[in-house]
Amino acid sequence: MISTAVRLARVGSTSELGAAALLFLGFPVMLLAALLPNLWLFTAAAAATYAGDWWLHRQGSRMVALLRRVRAGLSIRFLARELLLVLLLSRMGFSGTAAFYLGVSGFLVFYGLQAPHAALLTLIRNSRRLPVVTRNIDMSGLRIPGAPPRLLTRRAAEKMLHLDLAMVAGLIITAATERTLFGLVGAVITVALGTAFTVALLPYLRSSRKPARTERVLEYMDEWLRGYRPTVALYFSGSRTSAYQANMWLETLAALDERPLVILRERYIVPKLAPTSVPVLCVPSAVHLMGMDLTSLRVALYPANVGKNIHMLREPGMKHVFIGHGDSDKIASVNPYSKAYDEVWTAGRAGRDRYALADVGVRDDDIVEVGRPQLGAIVAGTGEPVGPMPTVLYAPTWEGWTDDPGNTSLILAGENVVKQLVAARPEVRVLYKPHPFTGSRCPKAKAAHERILSVIEQANAERSAEPQWRERAAADAAERDTAAAEVRRIAARLAELETAVKEDADEAEGSRDGVMDPAHAAEAERLRAQWNDAYWKSFGWWEHRVITGSRPHLYDCFNRGDMMVSDISSVVSDFIASEKPYAITDTTGLGAEEFKRQNSTARAAFILTPDASGVPELLESVRGSASDPLAHDRRTLKEYLLGPDEPTSLVRFGQAIKELSAKAEARLGRLERAGIHDSDLVEIPQPREEPEAVEVREDADAAESVTSAG
């Protein structure tokens, strides 16, 4: 019941739900108390709203953003509380007294400080915004000064507004004692602190506290590029939730015998990037990027087809390769955009055949089969359950940009599949790992996801009530509690090691200090393995589990599962590396035979219908090799989709880089002999400086989001 309320309220925990309840109920109660009037009821309700507001901000609750969208942002809530206090004073007979005028004028002066405070924070933030954001690049030559203390910049608007506590408390005491002195002292404290909080920011507007200007930073980056001379770049642009598409290639890039570079186009991607030793250069401005010295690059790798790719594709001195962020039978895997690249790299023969069938203009000669270097962590199945109870992973993909029923099984079949799995006899455990984008576009997908969460929650409650599992849970409680504590401990340390710069940190300082320490990197790698082991021990092996977020990784779920239910997506292609049984839901109504003919990844799958017919056959496949009729088909399909096991995919990927680099060098040699240089082929844009869009928000909460860096 409570967890359902948590989901409906769009908060992350029961504590957030309680804080939201205090906030929402507190204001009507304050209004009632002011009208009665009842000083002590008003005081209690005001304290509740302060506490609720503080807790929601401390937890980073989504409720804060939702309130802002409905014009009930932070500053509005504080102003409403103060106006209600003025109303209370009036109803208590203080109208026309010194205390009343003190309250009105004090709040006006205090709110007068909000504008210069927010303006100063915005000016400081803008002055410290470099034209680039970097990681693992030595920026010491720029002598970047330190940012203002986080005390002054982190959640600054919230801190500033909370300074009204002294005045509110003083006026309440004045109302109780009829002594104006208390209100006066409170007002002086509030205004004095607000003034000090604002004045403390002034020194950071001095030139000595500002980083180098744009032109100097760009010159420095060109110097660094000429010194490092990167040969291969991973180029990525995407939404706030798409960083995983780049993250999956970072380890592969670091393992290459090259001088790699990651080039990003959005600032918000940088803090979401996984830990890596590879230099990272984020260049938001297209003009700045196209003016940079990238002449040493020979190969550019593109994980996604996005509009900003054109800013790199126009570079003539390198070869451009689409590598994608997964391999599947979906139409997105054969996007006509792909013909813009010099080559398209697929995992196996299946990718090549898809392009031939789609006939989107990609020549067969331009396709190279390189395997999937990321799949080395996937453990092959033995034909026997991994744990005491068979585990089924349900990993549906997202709903896509269209309403095609074949995009995801979630809407038409997801709930039916999960219901059958949790009701299966003999019993199985269900791991539900939805796509990160689930419900982002389609309300029906979001609703189906919510229903599945309810089904799993109820199934866990019913299972935990059964005597055998209740006894087992009691016996293993101490071990699970120890593991859960270990998960929290390791996660806290990993947060320190993996996040060189937090999302609310100052970008300039982040670039200055964001060089990975090799010792910390080794510690983080060790801790990730320990976290993974502790995580799976932190709950019973019989408990169903909903898994979201970046940890545990999808491949860890593959290794813990004995079979999988999914959709036509790259998840299936990756899972086939394990050679374990899997099922795909035919939500298009094609029928099993035609569905397999049209989708190569389904050729070795158990085909489910939207009502989940076929689940028993899937479950039977893990009861021994004799009951697994598709084992041979999976081994054959694995090579077709992913290529041969030898040489390894990483070796083939690295060799493809070298061969393409050689082609780029040969082309440049031919051009030089003809007296043609890169600069003759592409015009370097001028001027180098391009203003970036500044987001303007109506609410005074803007200071919170615009100035939280530091």
- Asked if 17 and 96 sit in the same domain, the reply is yes
| Cα–Cα distance for residue pair 595/407, rounded to 1 Å | 13
Residue 344 pLDDT greater than 80, yes or no: yes
Residue 324 pLDDT greater than 80, yes or no: yes
The number of folded domains in the chain is 3
- Please indicate whether residue 600 or residue 187 has the higher confidence score (pLDDT): 187
Q: What is the pLDDT of residue 542?
A: 87
| Cα–Cα distance for residue pair 116/200, rounded to 1 Å | 12
Q: What is the CA radius of gyration of the chain?
A: 30
> The sheet that has 606-608: what strands, in order across it?
545-546, 429-432, 391-395, 563-566, 582-585, 606-608
Judge whether 590 lies within some domain. yes
User: Hey, is 303 helix, strand or coil?
Assistant: coil
User: Hey, is 597 helix, strand or coil?
Assistant: helix
- Asked if 82 and 199 sit in the same domain, the reply is yes
User: Hey, is 38 helix, strand or coil?
Assistant: coil
| Cα–Cα distance for residue pair 235/294, rounded to 1 Å | 12
Residue 706 pLDDT greater than 70, yes or no: no
Q: What is the pLDDT of residue 475?
A: 81
- The neighbour count for residue 55, using CB atoms within 10 Å, is 17
Q: What is the pLDDT of residue 569?
A: 84
Judge whether 47 lies within some domain. yes
Residue 472 pLDDT greater than 90, yes or no: no
In DSSP terms, 606 is beta-bridged to: 583
The amino acid occupying position 612 is A
Last residue of a domain, one of 166, 182, 206: 206
Q: What is the pLDDT of residue 254?
A: 93
User: Hey, is 41 helix, strand or coil?
Assistant: helix
In DSSP terms, 585 is beta-bridged to: 608
Helix axes 165-177, 74-89, angle to 10 degrees: 10
Distances (CA, A) of 435 to 266, 531, 564, 567, 588: 22, 22, 14, 11, 20
pLDDT in tens, 376-398: 889 888 888 888 889 999 999 88
Cα angle vertex 521, ends 518, 522, to 5°?
90
Residue 646 pLDDT greater than 60, yes or no: yes
Q: Averaged over 230-240, what is the pLDDT?
A: 94
- Please indicate whether residue 455 or residue 514 has the higher confidence score (pLDDT): 455
Residue 330 pLDDT greater than 70, yes or no: no
- Asked if 15 and 118 sit in the same domain, the reply is yes
| Cα–Cα distance for residue pair 86/92, rounded to 1 Å | 10
Q: What is the pLDDT of residue 65?
A: 84
Segments forming the whole domain that contains residue 19 = 2-129+149-206
- Asked if 637 and 556 sit in the same domain, the reply is yes
Q: What is the pLDDT of residue 5?
A: 45
Q: What is the pLDDT of residue 10?
A: 52
DSSP secondary structure code for residue 94 in this structure:
I
Dihedral angle of Cα 211, 217, 220, 221, to the nearest 10 degrees: 130
Which residue from 90, 31, 74, 93 is spatially nearest to 164, judged by alpha carbons?
Answer: 74
Length of the chain (residues): 710
Burial class (CB in 10 A: 0-12, 13-18, 19+), 584: buried
pLDDT in tens, 295-305: 999 999 999 99
User: Hey, is 195 helix, strand or coil?
Assistant: helix
Which residue from 497, 508, 691 is spatially nearest to 135, judged by alpha carbons?
Answer: 508
pLDDT in tens, 254-282: 999 999 999 999 999 998 888 888 999 99
- Asked if 561 and 414 sit in the same domain, the reply is yes
Residue 24 pLDDT greater than 50, yes or no: yes
Least confident of 73-82, 93-102, 401-410, 461-470: 401-410
pLDDT tier, 687 (very low <50, low <70, confident <90, very high otherwise): low
Phi, psi of 164 (to 5 degrees): -70, -5
Judge whether 501 lies within some domain. no
For the chain, give the percent of residues with pLDDT over 70. Answer: 91
> The sheet that has 299-302: what strands, in order across it?
133-135, 280-282, 260-264, 232-236, 299-302, 319-322, 343-346, 367-369
- Asked if 467 and 342 sit in the same domain, the reply is no
Phi, psi of 611 (to 5 degrees): -85, 10
Residue 709 pLDDT greater than 50, yes or no: no
| Cα–Cα distance for residue pair 114/76, rounded to 1 Å | 13
- The neighbour count for residue 373, using CB atoms within 10 Å, is 22
- Asked if 386 and 361 sit in the same domain, the reply is no
Residue 275 · residue 498 · CB < 8 Å:
yes
Q: Is the peptide bond before 629 cis (omega within 30 degrees of 0)?
A: no
Q: What is the pLDDT of residue 476?
A: 83
Q: What is the CATH number of the domain that holds 226?
A: 3.40.50.11720
Residue 348 · residue 369 · CB < 8 Å:
yes
Last residue of a domain, one of 190, 206, 222: 206
Q: Averaged over 66-73, what is the pLDDT?
A: 87
Sole residue written with tokens 């055998």: 468
Q: What is the CATH number of the domain that holds 438?
A: 3.40.50.2000
- Asked if 177 and 306 sit in the same domain, the reply is no
Task: Tell me which H or E stretch contains 43.
Answer: helix 39-58
Judge whether 615 lies within some domain. yes
Residue 217 pLDDT greater than 70, yes or no: yes
pLDDT in tens, 103-146: 999 999 999 999 999 999 999 999 999 999 999 999 999 999 98
Q: What is the pLDDT of residue 138?
A: 93
| Cα–Cα distance for residue pair 57/154, rounded to 1 Å | 11
The amino acid occupying position 229 is R
Least confident of 200-204, 247-251, 627-631, 687-691: 687-691
| Cα–Cα distance for residue pair 708/606, rounded to 1 Å | 51
Q: What is the pLDDT of residue 698?
A: 35
| Cα–Cα distance for residue pair 386/559, rounded to 1 Å | 8
Specify the pTM.
Answer: 0.79
Q: What is the pLDDT of residue 689?
A: 45
> Within 13 Å of residue 175, how many CA atoms lie on the same side as its CB?
26
pLDDT tier, 677 (very low <50, low <70, confident <90, very high otherwise): low
Residue 175 pLDDT greater than 80, yes or no: yes
Which of the given ranges, 241-255, 319-333, 403-417, 666-680, has the highest pLDDT on average?
241-255
Q: Averaged over 543-566, what is the pLDDT?
A: 91
Judge whether 514 lies within some domain. no
Residue 302 · residue 322 · CB < 8 Å:
yes
Cα angle vertex 226, ends 224, 231, to 5°?
105
- Asked if 240 and 389 sit in the same domain, the reply is no
| Cα–Cα distance for residue pair 237/50, rounded to 1 Å | 40
Residue 688 pLDDT greater than 60, yes or no: no
Which residue from 492, 473, 574 is spatially nearest to 530, judged by alpha carbons?
Answer: 492
Strands 280-282 and 133-135: antiparallel
Which residue from 390, 307, 302 is spatially nearest to 342, judged by alpha carbons?
Answer: 302
- The neighbour count for residue 375, using CB atoms within 10 Å, is 20
Judge whether 528 lies within some domain. no
Burial class (CB in 10 A: 0-12, 13-18, 19+), 435: buried
Q: Averaged over 315-327, what is the pLDDT?
A: 87
Residue 699 · residue 73 · CB < 8 Å:
yes
Residue 162 pLDDT greater than 50, yes or no: yes
User: Hey, is 583 helix, strand or coil?
Assistant: strand
Q: What is the pLDDT of residue 361?
A: 86
- Please indicate whether residue 695 or residue 486 has the higher confidence score (pLDDT): 486
- Please indicate whether residue 681 or residue 666 has the higher confidence score (pLDDT): 666
| Cα–Cα distance for residue pair 43/160, rounded to 1 Å | 21
Q: What is the pLDDT of residue 624?
A: 59
pLDDT tier, 581 (very low <50, low <70, confident <90, very high otherwise): very high
Residue 499 pLDDT greater than 90, yes or no: no
| Cα–Cα distance for residue pair 198/117, rounded to 1 Å | 5
| Cα–Cα distance for residue pair 212/224, rounded to 1 Å | 16
- Asked if 389 and 353 sit in the same domain, the reply is no
Q: What is the pLDDT of residue 270?
A: 93
Q: What is the pLDDT of residue 183?
A: 93
Q: What is the pLDDT of residue 214?
A: 93
pLDDT tier, 496 (very low <50, low <70, confident <90, very high otherwise): confident
What is the secondary structure of 171-183 as a DSSP string?
HHHHHHH--HHHH
Q: What is the pLDDT of residue 198?
A: 95
Q: What is the pLDDT of residue 30?
A: 96
Which residue from 664, 655, 648, 662 is spatially nearest to 257, judged by alpha carbons?
Answer: 655
| Cα–Cα distance for residue pair 592/408, rounded to 1 Å | 17
Which of the given ranges, 151-165, 333-347, 430-444, 614-628, has the highest pLDDT on average?
151-165
What average pLDDT is seen over the chain? 86
Judge whether 593 lies within some domain. yes
Q: What is the pLDDT of residue 173?
A: 96
| Cα–Cα distance for residue pair 484/570, rounded to 1 Å | 32
User: Hey, is 155 helix, strand or coil?
Assistant: coil
Q: What is the pLDDT of residue 670?
A: 85
Last residue of a domain, one of 349, 371, 393: 371
Residue 686 pLDDT greater than 70, yes or no: no
- Please indicate whether residue 431 or residue 689 has the higher confidence score (pLDDT): 431
Residue 559 · residue 378 · CB < 8 Å:
yes
Q: What is the pLDDT of residue 701?
A: 40
Judge whether 493 lies within some domain. no
- Asked if 419 and 549 sit in the same domain, the reply is yes
| Cα–Cα distance for residue pair 667/678, rounded to 1 Å | 11
User: Hey, is 234 helix, strand or coil?
Assistant: strand
- Asked if 29 and 113 sit in the same domain, the reply is yes
Phi, psi of 447 (to 5 degrees): -65, -40
Residue 87 pLDDT greater than 70, yes or no: yes
- The neighbour count for residue 481, using CB atoms within 10 Å, is 11
Residue 6 pLDDT greater than 50, yes or no: no
